[in-house]
Every structure is written in structure tokens, then in C-alpha cells.
Amino acid sequence: MMEPHVTWVIRERFGVGESPVWDGANERLLWCDIPAGAIHALDIATGARSLWEFGEPVPSLGLARDGKLVVALRNDVILFDPARGTRERVARIEHEKPGMRLNDGKVGPDGAFWVGSMDGEAGDAPAAKLYRVAPDGEVRVIAEGIAISNGLAWNAGATILYHSDSRGSMWLDCWDFDSTTGAVSNRRRLRDNDEASGRPDGGACDLAGNYWSAGPSASRINRFSAMGELLDWVDVPLKLPTMPCFGGADMRTVFVTSLGSGEDGRDGVVQFRVDVPGVPVGVFG
């Protein structure tokens, strides 16, 4: 177990705090509260905060060109301009069942927005999928038969894509990745997680080739090798951590969001320092 000094960035209860993204150009941390339908921004230096509300669930987001954000809503992927408050639909995704919505999403090294869906009543035939949404609006189905699509991240060389399912067998998979075309191949199982070690939630990669994964059922952040071996973990004061993200000027600060736990003092955003920087996030388009 790693024992870095974990400190609070914000103590605040969010319905489902998710999708932290480091906006280096503005030195701020972005994240969403899914059921509240909101995106939060925090200026790390000054503590100034911004809030944008969308009137429907906001499961994930990423950086886009010209200061815009690419945002996943229940069915739509949109471009949002925080400065002007304008929205432009990029693509619409129709789900297989009522009540489904989009979930974890990240901008890939190919400039596309990769986003999965979630099937809250998966049963024996889960209907969620993983999609690649190109800047021109083309939607490509990458994988099917998922309960809760999660854990998207790419290694530093943009040659490996990681992806997990947070329900059912709780697996972590990876593909070989082509950053020029966005094509994936050679899908393989890295590991099957469990509740004790932390079911796999949001993920991020560092420059040494390791994959960091939130384990909400164990209140920790796991660090796996590229082969899926559990190297170590960081216990966090958050009851239910949802996703790590690397940020700060040197990309060596890990920020972690959480969902509402119902326990006083165990919700919000925390941070800790690490030795190896994280992989910079992609930009849509």
C-alpha cells in the first residue's frame, strides 16, 4: 500500500461526482455531478468556482478546441462553450432499453470522444455499449454486452486503450490502439476485480505505463501494471471514490472525485502527490 499525504480539495456531497478533467490552460479542475446535471470548475490557485447546469444527467466530459468542452448527456454528445453558454449537438445515441444513459467518457489520442453507456437493470443480457464519437458526428460501436461501461484511459504511447465493466464480473480489459485511425484490435482480459479489492470505476494512466483505477467498494485507488498486476494502492478518506485524474503544473497531482456516501465528512474531492506524471488528456477534434 502506498501512503502519500492525501488532502481535501473540497468537502462537499455530490450525487455522483465523476469525470475529473485537468484543464491545464486555465489551471483548473473540472468535474461533473451526474444526477444534478451539472459541471463544476475549480481554479486551484484562487479557489474560485464556476457551475454550469444542463437540466439532465451529465455523466462525463472532456476538453475541446477553442476553450469548449465535449459533454455527454443522457443520449446526446454536445459541444459546450462555457464562455458563451452555447451548446451544439455532435451526435445522438439511442439506447436499447428505457432508463439507460451514457456514462464514463474520455477524449482519446485520436481526437474522438470515447463514451460508454450503462444498463441499470442488466440481468443476464447487459445492453450497454462502448462508442467512439468522431468530431464529425460519426458514431462507431466498439463493444457490446456491457453492464456499466467505465475505466477508459490510454497509455503514454497511445498504443493501448483500457476499459472496464463496473458491474457483473467487474473486469478490466485492454485493446491495441491506433491513434491515427482510432481502430482497436486484440482485445484481452487483464483481470477480474472483486468488491474487496475495489470494483473498477474510473481510470487514468501515468507515463510509466501504469493504470490507476478507482475502487469505490474498497475506498481506494488501485495502481495496476500494464499486464493487470496489482502493484499497490492508496487508501483515501472518500467513502466511494469514482475516478482519479492527473493534473497540476507537473501532472503529478492526482485528483479524485466521489459519489454521495450518506456518511458525514467522506464526500468531495481529494488530492495526493505521486512520483510519476500522468498522461496528458486528449482534446476533442
CATH of the domain at 161: 2.120.10.30
Mean pLDDT of all residues in 98-112? 97
Placement of cell 490502439 in the chain: 177
Nearest to 233 by CA among 268, 267, 272: 272
Nearest to 203 by CA among 171, 179, 176, 180: 171
Mean pLDDT of all residues in 85-111? 97
Nearby residues of 250 by Cβ (< 8 Å), 6 or more positions away? 277
Separation of alpha carbons 7 and 15, rounded Å: 21
Kindly list the distances between the CA atom of residue 16 and the CA atoms of 37, 103, 146, 258, in Å, as whole numbers in the listed order. Answer: 10, 11, 20, 7
pLDDT at 195: 86
Please, are residues 219 and 238 in contact by the beta-carbon 8 Å criterion? yes
Residue 94, domain member (yes or no): yes
pLDDT at 73: 98
Q: Which of 201, 206, 232, 264 is the catalytic position?
A: 201
Is 201 designated active site?
yes
CA atoms within 13 Å, Cβ hemisphere of 181: 6
Over residues 243-254, the pLDDT tens digits come to: 999 999 999 999
Over residues 22-35, the pLDDT tens digits come to: 999 999 999 999 99
Nearest to 44 by CA among 9, 8, 18: 9
Mean pLDDT of all residues in 96-100? 92
Terminal-to-terminal C-alpha distance of the chain:
39
Mean pLDDT of all residues in 54-66? 98
Q: What is the count of structural domains for the chain?
A: 1
Residue 2, domain member (yes or no): no
Split at pLDDT 50, 70, 90, the class of 122 is low
Please, are residues 265 and 259 in contact by the beta-carbon 8 Å criterion? no
Q: What is the mean pLDDT of the chain?
A: 96
Placement of cell 470494483 in the chain: 199
Count of residues making up the chain: 285
Residue 1, domain member (yes or no): no
Residue 113, domain member (yes or no): yes
Determine the structural domain holding residue 73 and report its residue range: 7-284
Q: Are strands 60-64 and 283-284 parallel, antiparallel or unpaired?
A: parallel
Please, are residues 141 and 128 in contact by the beta-carbon 8 Å criterion? no
Separation of alpha carbons 3 and 107, rounded Å: 30
pTM: 0.97
Over residues 231-271, the pLDDT tens digits come to: 999 999 999 999 999 999 999 999 999 999 988 889 999 99
Sheet holding 7-11, edge to edge: 7-11, 268-273, 253-258, 241-247
